[in-house]
Structure 1
Amino acid sequence: MKQENVQPKKWEIFSPYFKQIEVPAKSILLQEGKVSKTMYFIEKGCLRTWVNNDGKEITTQFFFEGDSVSSIESFRTNRPSLYSIESLEPCVLQTISQKDFQDIIQNSPELKDNLVEHLFMRLIKSQQIFFSYLKNTPQQRYAELLEQHPEIIKRIPQHYIASYLGITSVSLSRIRNRR
Protein backbone atom coordinates (compact mmCIF):
# COMPACT_ATOMS: atom_id res chain seq x y z
CA MET A 1 0.00 0.00 0.00
CA LYS A 2 1.97 3.04 1.12
CA GLN A 3 5.22 3.18 -0.77
CA GLU A 4 8.37 5.08 -0.04
CA ASN A 5 8.02 8.26 -2.05
CA VAL A 6 10.72 9.04 -4.56
CA GLN A 7 12.22 12.46 -3.95
CA PRO A 8 9.86 14.96 -5.66
CA LYS A 9 12.71 16.92 -7.28
CA LYS A 10 13.85 13.79 -9.11
CA TRP A 11 10.34 13.35 -10.53
CA GLU A 12 10.04 16.98 -11.65
CA ILE A 13 12.57 16.60 -14.46
CA PHE A 14 10.37 13.85 -15.92
CA SER A 15 7.12 15.83 -15.71
CA PRO A 16 6.79 16.02 -19.52
CA TYR A 17 6.13 12.27 -19.49
CA PHE A 18 3.28 12.52 -16.98
CA LYS A 19 -0.25 13.79 -17.52
CA GLN A 20 -2.43 14.87 -14.61
CA ILE A 21 -6.06 13.77 -14.61
CA GLU A 22 -8.90 14.15 -12.15
CA VAL A 23 -11.49 11.40 -11.84
CA PRO A 24 -14.66 11.23 -9.76
CA ALA A 25 -15.34 8.51 -7.21
CA LYS A 26 -16.52 5.17 -8.59
CA SER A 27 -14.63 5.56 -11.89
CA ILE A 28 -13.33 2.36 -13.49
CA LEU A 29 -9.79 3.12 -14.64
CA LEU A 30 -9.12 -0.40 -15.89
CA GLN A 31 -11.67 -3.15 -16.48
CA GLU A 32 -10.72 -6.75 -15.74
CA GLY A 33 -9.97 -8.48 -19.06
CA LYS A 34 -8.78 -5.30 -20.81
CA VAL A 35 -5.12 -4.52 -21.54
CA SER A 36 -3.57 -1.93 -19.24
CA LYS A 37 -2.19 1.03 -21.20
CA THR A 38 -1.68 3.43 -18.27
CA MET A 39 0.13 3.54 -14.94
CA TYR A 40 -1.31 5.79 -12.22
CA PHE A 41 0.48 7.69 -9.45
CA ILE A 42 -1.92 8.94 -6.78
CA GLU A 43 -1.53 12.57 -5.74
CA LYS A 44 -4.87 12.70 -3.96
CA GLY A 45 -7.55 10.09 -3.39
CA CYS A 46 -7.95 6.35 -3.06
CA LEU A 47 -8.09 3.51 -5.55
CA ARG A 48 -8.87 -0.16 -5.14
CA THR A 49 -8.20 -3.24 -7.20
CA TRP A 50 -10.81 -5.97 -7.39
CA VAL A 51 -11.72 -9.16 -9.19
CA ASN A 52 -15.09 -10.42 -10.32
CA ASN A 53 -15.89 -13.85 -8.89
CA ASP A 54 -19.17 -15.01 -10.44
CA GLY A 55 -20.67 -11.53 -10.21
CA LYS A 56 -19.30 -10.80 -6.73
CA GLU A 57 -16.62 -8.11 -6.40
CA ILE A 58 -13.66 -9.11 -4.25
CA THR A 59 -11.39 -6.24 -3.25
CA THR A 60 -7.73 -7.21 -3.44
CA GLN A 61 -5.91 -4.03 -2.46
CA PHE A 62 -6.30 -0.34 -1.52
CA PHE A 63 -3.99 2.45 -2.69
CA PHE A 64 -3.53 5.97 -1.32
CA GLU A 65 -1.52 9.13 -1.86
CA GLY A 66 2.04 8.33 -2.96
CA ASP A 67 1.17 4.89 -4.31
CA SER A 68 1.43 3.76 -7.92
CA VAL A 69 -1.18 1.50 -9.45
CA SER A 70 -1.43 -0.46 -12.65
CA SER A 71 -2.01 -3.99 -13.72
CA ILE A 72 1.74 -4.25 -14.12
CA GLU A 73 1.67 -7.71 -15.69
CA SER A 74 -0.82 -6.46 -18.29
CA PHE A 75 1.02 -3.15 -18.69
CA ARG A 76 4.31 -4.92 -19.44
CA THR A 77 3.02 -7.90 -21.49
CA ASN A 78 -0.08 -6.54 -23.27
CA ARG A 79 -2.11 -9.43 -21.86
CA PRO A 80 -5.58 -8.86 -20.39
CA SER A 81 -5.63 -7.63 -16.81
CA LEU A 82 -6.62 -10.09 -14.11
CA TYR A 83 -8.38 -7.34 -12.13
CA SER A 84 -10.12 -3.97 -12.30
CA ILE A 85 -8.89 -0.64 -10.91
CA GLU A 86 -11.50 1.76 -9.52
CA SER A 87 -11.47 5.10 -7.72
CA LEU A 88 -13.20 5.11 -4.34
CA GLU A 89 -12.85 8.86 -3.86
CA PRO A 90 -12.43 11.79 -6.23
CA CYS A 91 -8.80 11.49 -7.31
CA VAL A 92 -5.98 13.55 -8.73
CA LEU A 93 -3.69 11.19 -10.60
CA GLN A 94 -0.47 11.47 -12.54
CA THR A 95 -0.55 9.06 -15.48
CA ILE A 96 2.10 7.67 -17.76
CA SER A 97 1.48 5.72 -20.95
CA GLN A 98 3.08 2.42 -21.86
CA LYS A 99 5.08 4.10 -24.62
CA ASP A 100 6.43 6.86 -22.37
CA PHE A 101 7.20 4.32 -19.66
CA GLN A 102 9.23 2.28 -22.19
CA ASP A 103 11.03 5.44 -23.36
CA ILE A 104 12.00 6.24 -19.77
CA ILE A 105 13.19 2.70 -19.13
CA GLN A 106 15.39 2.85 -22.23
CA ASN A 107 16.63 6.44 -22.00
CA SER A 108 16.81 7.43 -18.35
CA PRO A 109 18.85 5.24 -16.02
CA GLU A 110 18.06 7.51 -13.05
CA LEU A 111 14.28 7.28 -13.37
CA LYS A 112 14.51 3.63 -14.38
CA ASP A 113 16.25 2.88 -11.08
CA ASN A 114 13.61 4.85 -9.16
CA LEU A 115 10.75 3.07 -10.95
CA VAL A 116 12.33 -0.35 -10.47
CA GLU A 117 12.71 0.31 -6.72
CA HIS A 118 9.12 1.56 -6.54
CA LEU A 119 7.86 -1.58 -8.31
CA PHE A 120 9.90 -3.85 -6.06
CA MET A 121 8.34 -2.19 -3.01
CA ARG A 122 4.91 -2.79 -4.54
CA LEU A 123 5.76 -6.46 -5.17
CA ILE A 124 6.95 -6.89 -1.60
CA LYS A 125 3.73 -5.35 -0.25
CA SER A 126 1.61 -7.55 -2.52
CA GLN A 127 3.43 -10.63 -1.24
CA GLN A 128 2.87 -9.54 2.36
CA ILE A 129 -0.85 -9.19 1.68
CA PHE A 130 -0.99 -12.56 -0.08
CA PHE A 131 0.75 -14.42 2.73
CA SER A 132 -1.27 -12.60 5.39
CA TYR A 133 -4.41 -13.79 3.64
CA LEU A 134 -3.12 -17.38 3.70
CA LYS A 135 -1.80 -17.40 7.27
CA ASN A 136 -3.92 -14.99 9.31
CA THR A 137 -7.51 -14.89 10.48
CA PRO A 138 -9.80 -12.07 9.36
CA GLN A 139 -9.37 -10.55 12.85
CA GLN A 140 -5.58 -10.55 12.44
CA ARG A 141 -5.81 -9.08 8.93
CA TYR A 142 -8.15 -6.36 10.23
CA ALA A 143 -5.69 -5.55 13.04
CA GLU A 144 -2.84 -5.35 10.47
CA LEU A 145 -4.92 -3.07 8.29
CA LEU A 146 -5.67 -0.75 11.21
CA GLU A 147 -2.03 -0.71 12.31
CA GLN A 148 -0.63 -0.01 8.85
CA HIS A 149 -3.45 2.25 7.56
CA PRO A 150 -5.66 3.66 10.34
CA GLU A 151 -7.15 6.12 7.84
CA ILE A 152 -8.88 3.22 6.11
CA ILE A 153 -11.74 3.22 8.61
CA LYS A 154 -12.49 6.86 7.80
CA ARG A 155 -11.99 6.63 4.04
CA ILE A 156 -13.13 3.19 2.90
CA PRO A 157 -16.74 1.96 3.01
CA GLN A 158 -17.18 -1.04 5.31
CA HIS A 159 -18.36 -3.39 2.55
CA TYR A 160 -15.07 -2.92 0.67
CA ILE A 161 -13.06 -3.59 3.83
CA ALA A 162 -15.11 -6.73 4.46
CA SER A 163 -14.56 -7.87 0.87
CA TYR A 164 -10.82 -7.26 1.23
CA LEU A 165 -10.75 -9.35 4.42
CA GLY A 166 -12.76 -12.14 2.78
CA ILE A 167 -15.72 -11.80 5.14
CA THR A 168 -19.24 -10.36 5.17
CA SER A 169 -20.06 -6.86 6.40
CA VAL A 170 -21.89 -8.46 9.36
CA SER A 171 -18.73 -10.39 10.34
CA LEU A 172 -16.68 -7.20 10.06
CA SER A 173 -19.14 -5.42 12.36
CA ARG A 174 -18.65 -8.19 14.93
CA ILE A 175 -14.85 -7.87 14.68
CA ARG A 176 -15.06 -4.09 15.06
CA ASN A 177 -17.37 -4.37 18.07
CA ARG A 178 -14.89 -6.69 19.85
CA ARG A 179 -12.16 -4.07 19.64
Structure 2
Amino acid sequence: MLFHFKTQFPELNVFWDKYLEFQTRLEIPAKTVLLEEGKISQQYIFIEKGCVRTFFNNNGNDKTVQFFFENEGLASLESFVNNIPSQFTIETIESSVVYLLPKQYVTQLLHELSQVPDFMQLLLQIFSRRLTHYTKELVSFIRDTPEERYQNLLSERPHIVQRVPQHYIASYLGVSTVHLSRIKSKLAKGKPHF
Protein backbone atom coordinates (compact mmCIF):
# COMPACT_ATOMS: atom_id res chain seq x y z
CA MET A 1 0.00 0.00 0.00
CA LEU A 2 2.55 2.59 1.05
CA PHE A 3 5.18 1.69 -1.48
CA HIS A 4 3.25 1.44 -4.72
CA PHE A 5 5.77 4.02 -5.90
CA LYS A 6 8.13 1.11 -6.66
CA THR A 7 6.33 0.66 -9.96
CA GLN A 8 4.45 3.94 -10.33
CA PHE A 9 7.30 6.28 -9.42
CA PRO A 10 10.56 4.47 -10.23
CA GLU A 11 12.61 7.63 -9.55
CA LEU A 12 11.96 7.02 -5.83
CA ASN A 13 13.37 3.48 -5.94
CA VAL A 14 16.78 4.77 -4.92
CA PHE A 15 15.28 5.38 -1.46
CA TRP A 16 13.68 1.93 -1.32
CA ASP A 17 16.92 0.30 -2.49
CA LYS A 18 18.84 1.86 0.43
CA TYR A 19 16.76 -0.32 2.74
CA LEU A 20 17.16 -3.62 0.89
CA GLU A 21 19.79 -4.79 3.37
CA PHE A 22 17.26 -4.45 6.22
CA GLN A 23 14.61 -6.51 4.45
CA THR A 24 14.09 -10.19 4.95
CA ARG A 25 13.26 -12.12 1.78
CA LEU A 26 11.04 -15.15 2.38
CA GLU A 27 10.03 -17.89 -0.04
CA ILE A 28 7.01 -19.36 1.68
CA PRO A 29 4.26 -21.88 0.95
CA ALA A 30 0.53 -21.21 0.78
CA LYS A 31 -1.26 -20.81 4.12
CA THR A 32 1.76 -19.16 5.80
CA VAL A 33 0.60 -16.66 8.43
CA LEU A 34 2.60 -13.42 8.24
CA LEU A 35 0.64 -11.66 10.98
CA GLU A 36 -1.81 -13.19 13.40
CA GLU A 37 -5.00 -11.44 14.45
CA GLY A 38 -4.45 -9.93 17.92
CA LYS A 39 -0.67 -9.46 17.45
CA ILE A 40 0.93 -6.06 16.81
CA SER A 41 2.04 -5.46 13.24
CA GLN A 42 5.79 -4.77 13.20
CA GLN A 43 6.64 -5.49 9.55
CA TYR A 44 5.76 -3.93 6.25
CA ILE A 45 5.15 -6.71 3.70
CA PHE A 46 5.99 -6.33 0.02
CA ILE A 47 4.87 -9.09 -2.37
CA GLU A 48 7.30 -9.99 -5.12
CA LYS A 49 5.40 -13.12 -6.17
CA GLY A 50 2.20 -14.72 -5.00
CA CYS A 51 -1.09 -13.82 -3.39
CA VAL A 52 -1.90 -12.78 0.16
CA ARG A 53 -5.20 -12.26 1.91
CA THR A 54 -6.30 -10.43 5.03
CA PHE A 55 -9.10 -11.92 7.11
CA PHE A 56 -10.58 -11.97 10.58
CA ASN A 57 -12.21 -14.68 12.65
CA ASN A 58 -15.95 -14.33 13.21
CA ASN A 59 -17.16 -16.99 15.65
CA GLY A 60 -14.93 -19.63 14.09
CA ASN A 61 -15.47 -18.55 10.47
CA ASP A 62 -12.87 -16.72 8.39
CA LYS A 63 -14.14 -13.50 6.82
CA THR A 64 -11.83 -12.42 4.00
CA VAL A 65 -11.36 -8.65 3.78
CA GLN A 66 -8.92 -8.15 0.90
CA PHE A 67 -6.50 -9.77 -1.54
CA PHE A 68 -3.03 -8.54 -2.49
CA PHE A 69 -0.83 -9.61 -5.40
CA GLU A 70 2.57 -9.00 -7.00
CA ASN A 71 4.11 -5.54 -6.53
CA GLU A 72 1.69 -4.64 -3.77
CA GLY A 73 2.54 -3.99 -0.18
CA LEU A 74 0.58 -4.15 3.02
CA ALA A 75 0.55 -4.07 6.77
CA SER A 76 -2.28 -4.13 9.26
CA LEU A 77 -2.13 -0.35 9.07
CA GLU A 78 -3.92 0.67 12.25
CA SER A 79 -1.89 -1.85 14.22
CA PHE A 80 1.34 -0.84 12.48
CA VAL A 81 0.87 2.89 13.05
CA ASN A 82 -0.71 2.86 16.52
CA ASN A 83 0.99 -0.17 18.10
CA ILE A 84 -2.30 -1.89 18.84
CA PRO A 85 -3.38 -5.50 18.25
CA SER A 86 -4.24 -6.25 14.64
CA GLN A 87 -7.88 -6.87 13.77
CA PHE A 88 -6.72 -9.04 10.86
CA THR A 89 -4.62 -12.07 10.05
CA ILE A 90 -2.37 -11.79 7.00
CA GLU A 91 -1.81 -15.12 5.22
CA THR A 92 -0.48 -16.34 1.88
CA ILE A 93 -2.91 -18.04 -0.48
CA GLU A 94 -0.26 -19.23 -2.95
CA SER A 95 3.41 -20.07 -2.63
CA SER A 96 4.84 -16.58 -2.37
CA VAL A 97 7.99 -14.52 -2.24
CA VAL A 98 7.69 -11.60 0.15
CA TYR A 99 9.99 -9.02 1.68
CA LEU A 100 9.58 -7.90 5.28
CA LEU A 101 10.84 -4.49 6.35
CA PRO A 102 10.77 -3.83 10.14
CA LYS A 103 8.80 -0.82 11.35
CA GLN A 104 11.86 1.16 12.47
CA TYR A 105 13.20 1.17 8.90
CA VAL A 106 9.81 1.99 7.43
CA THR A 107 9.75 5.03 9.72
CA GLN A 108 13.24 6.07 8.59
CA LEU A 109 12.34 5.55 4.93
CA LEU A 110 9.19 7.64 5.24
CA HIS A 111 11.17 10.38 6.98
CA GLU A 112 13.64 10.46 4.09
CA LEU A 113 10.88 10.42 1.52
CA SER A 114 9.09 13.28 3.28
CA GLN A 115 12.01 15.49 2.23
CA VAL A 116 11.36 14.74 -1.45
CA PRO A 117 9.32 17.48 -3.17
CA ASP A 118 5.71 16.43 -3.76
CA PHE A 119 6.09 13.15 -1.84
CA MET A 120 3.41 14.07 0.68
CA GLN A 121 1.05 14.83 -2.20
CA LEU A 122 1.89 11.41 -3.68
CA LEU A 123 1.25 9.73 -0.33
CA LEU A 124 -2.10 11.48 -0.02
CA GLN A 125 -3.04 10.31 -3.53
CA ILE A 126 -2.16 6.71 -2.66
CA PHE A 127 -4.16 6.82 0.58
CA SER A 128 -7.05 8.53 -1.19
CA ARG A 129 -7.13 5.79 -3.84
CA ARG A 130 -7.10 3.10 -1.18
CA LEU A 131 -9.82 4.84 0.85
CA THR A 132 -11.96 5.25 -2.28
CA HIS A 133 -11.54 1.54 -3.02
CA TYR A 134 -12.58 0.50 0.51
CA THR A 135 -15.50 2.94 0.54
CA LYS A 136 -16.72 1.54 -2.78
CA GLU A 137 -16.51 -2.00 -1.39
CA LEU A 138 -18.38 -1.01 1.78
CA VAL A 139 -21.17 0.65 -0.22
CA SER A 140 -21.35 -2.37 -2.53
CA PHE A 141 -21.65 -4.69 0.46
CA ILE A 142 -24.60 -2.67 1.78
CA ARG A 143 -26.32 -1.91 -1.53
CA ASP A 144 -25.59 -4.81 -3.91
CA THR A 145 -26.73 -8.40 -3.90
CA PRO A 146 -24.07 -11.14 -3.68
CA GLU A 147 -24.65 -11.82 -7.39
CA GLU A 148 -23.98 -8.16 -8.23
CA ARG A 149 -20.85 -8.18 -6.06
CA TYR A 150 -19.60 -11.29 -7.88
CA GLN A 151 -20.31 -9.70 -11.28
CA ASN A 152 -18.40 -6.57 -10.16
CA LEU A 153 -15.49 -8.80 -9.20
CA LEU A 154 -15.57 -10.51 -12.60
CA SER A 155 -15.61 -7.23 -14.50
CA GLU A 156 -13.31 -5.09 -12.33
CA ARG A 157 -10.82 -7.59 -10.90
CA PRO A 158 -11.01 -10.85 -12.87
CA HIS A 159 -7.51 -11.85 -11.70
CA ILE A 160 -9.01 -12.56 -8.25
CA VAL A 161 -11.52 -15.02 -9.73
CA GLN A 162 -8.75 -16.63 -11.80
CA ARG A 163 -6.23 -17.06 -8.98
CA VAL A 164 -8.07 -17.26 -5.66
CA PRO A 165 -9.73 -20.48 -4.42
CA GLN A 166 -13.54 -20.37 -4.43
CA HIS A 167 -13.97 -20.69 -0.66
CA TYR A 168 -11.93 -17.49 -0.15
CA ILE A 169 -13.96 -15.66 -2.80
CA ALA A 170 -17.17 -16.81 -1.11
CA SER A 171 -15.83 -15.56 2.23
CA TYR A 172 -14.90 -12.24 0.60
CA LEU A 173 -18.39 -11.86 -0.89
CA GLY A 174 -20.05 -12.81 2.39
CA VAL A 175 -21.72 -15.97 1.08
CA SER A 176 -21.30 -19.72 1.49
CA THR A 177 -19.42 -21.73 -1.13
CA VAL A 178 -22.75 -23.39 -2.04
CA HIS A 179 -24.34 -19.96 -2.62
CA LEU A 180 -21.36 -18.90 -4.76
CA SER A 181 -21.73 -22.07 -6.85
CA ARG A 182 -25.40 -21.20 -7.41
CA ILE A 183 -24.48 -17.65 -8.47
CA LYS A 184 -21.87 -18.96 -10.92
CA SER A 185 -24.31 -21.53 -12.30
CA LYS A 186 -27.02 -18.90 -12.75
CA LEU A 187 -24.61 -16.56 -14.53
CA ALA A 188 -23.36 -19.39 -16.79
CA LYS A 189 -26.96 -20.21 -17.80
CA GLY A 190 -27.58 -16.55 -18.62
CA LYS A 191 -24.68 -16.34 -21.11
CA PRO A 192 -25.66 -16.17 -24.77
CA HIS A 193 -24.76 -19.27 -26.82
CA PHE A 194 -23.28 -18.78 -30.30
Work out whether the TM-score is over 0.5: yes
CA deviation digits over 1:100-140, x for unaligned, max 9? 11112223223953555433322222222122111111011
Among 6, 13, 38, the alignment partner of 1:11 is 13
State the partner residue of 1:126: 134
Is 1:72 the counterpart of 2:77 in the alignment?
Answer: yes
Q: Measure, in 2, the Cα distance between the counterparts of 1:115 and 1:94.
A: 21
CA contact (8 A) 1:105 1:112 kept: no
CA deviation digits over 1:125-175, x for unaligned, max 9? 222212211111101110111112212222111111001111111110111
State the partner residue of 2:87: 82
State the partner residue of 1:100: 105
* Partner amino acid, structure 1, of 2:107: Q
Secondary structure (helix, strand or coil) at the match of 1:66 reads: coil
Q: Structure 1 residue 77: deviation in Å? A: 0.3
State the partner residue of 1:45: 50
State the partner residue of 2:36: 31
Q: Measure, in 1, the Cα distance between the counterparts of 2:123 and 2:99.
A: 14
CA deviation digits over 1:11-58, x for unaligned, max 9? 244223242332211100110000000111222111101010111111
State the partner residue of 1:138: 146
> Percent of aligned pairs with the same residue?
39
Q: Structure 1 residue 75: deviation in Å? A: 0.3
Q: Measure, in 2, the Cα distance between the counterparts of 1:23 and 1:52.
A: 23
Moved over 4 A (4+): none
Q: Measure, in 1, the Cα distance between the counterparts of 2:34 and 2:165.
A: 19
CA contact (8 A) 2:29 2:92 kept: yes
Question: Which of structures 1 and 2 has the bigger CA Rg?
Answer: 2
**Greater Cα shift, 43-52 or 90-99:** 90-99
Q: Which runs of 5+ in 2 are unaligned?
A: 188-194
Query: How many equivalent residue pairs?
Result: 178
